């Protein structure tokens, strides 16, 4: 079984980071993975997307027109990728930054106040991406939390290891938000 996921936002929101974590965790679990980052030359503010294909069988082509799941962190990404979610697929979008909600019948949608939660609960706006990532994993159970935490320990530079507990807290916060039905559209 194959699952095609797109993460999209702008540079500096951690799109590439959560894509890397997902791909690394899936590899740890023995799955076939293709990781395709895409971003503009500027470090912050440019378009940033990351596609991850995960499969239990060899992936013949990583190129897809539609995604099983889209995780969007800003309005332009939401508008660009909502139409590209497969019928019956999943759209997870950040609703404290994105003000114009999508209209798309035939897919499951989750509107999460990740930015607001990152600021008010975690006191760190950079944790928005991990909240969204936790929500995604709660929705699709693509990989185990243990694999994600192992990938996190390997991915973060040594001078940022002190952020592992905060990242785990953000991840768990996102998982718990999805369990609250009020965030499912």
Q: What is the secondary structure of 69-128 as a DSSP string?
A: EEEE-SHHHHHHHGGGEEEEEEEEEETTT--S----TTSEEEEE-HHHHHHHTSS-GGGH
Residue 42 has pLDDT above 60, yes or no: no
- Give the whole-angstrom CA distance, residue 93 versus residue 109: 8
**CA end-to-end span of the chain, whole Å?**
26
Tell me: the pLDDT tens digits for 43-83? 566 789 999 999 999 998 878 889 999 999 999 999 999 99
- Mean pLDDT, all residues of the chain: 92
Q: What is the pLDDT of residue 11?
A: 83
CATH number for position 114: 3.40.920.10
Structurally, the chain folds into a number of domains equal to 1
Domain span at residue 116? 2-183
């Amino acid at each position: 079984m194959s699952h095609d996921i797109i993460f999209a936002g702008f540079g500096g929101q951690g799109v590439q980071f959560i894509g890397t974590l997902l791909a690394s965790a899936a590899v740890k679990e023995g799955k076939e993975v293709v990781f395709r980052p895409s971003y503009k030359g500027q470090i912050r503010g440019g378009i940033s997307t990351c596609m991850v294909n995960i499969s239990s069988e060899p992936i013949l082509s990583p190129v897809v027109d539609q995604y099983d799941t889209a995780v969007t962190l800003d309005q332009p990404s939401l508008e660009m990728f909502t139409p590209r979610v497969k019928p019956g697929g999943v759209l997870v979008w950040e609703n404290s930054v994105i003000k114009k909600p999508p209209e798309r019948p035939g897919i499951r949608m989750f509107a999460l106040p990740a930015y607001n939660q990152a600021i008010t609960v975690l006191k760190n706006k950079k944790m928005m991406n991990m909240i969204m990532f936790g929500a995604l994993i709660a929705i699709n159970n693509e990989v185990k939390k243990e694999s994600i935490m192992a990938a996190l320990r390997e991915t973060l530079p040594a001078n940022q290891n002190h952020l592992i507990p905060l990242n785990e807290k953000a991840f768990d916060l996102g998982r718990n938000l999805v369990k609250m039905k009020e965030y499912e559209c």
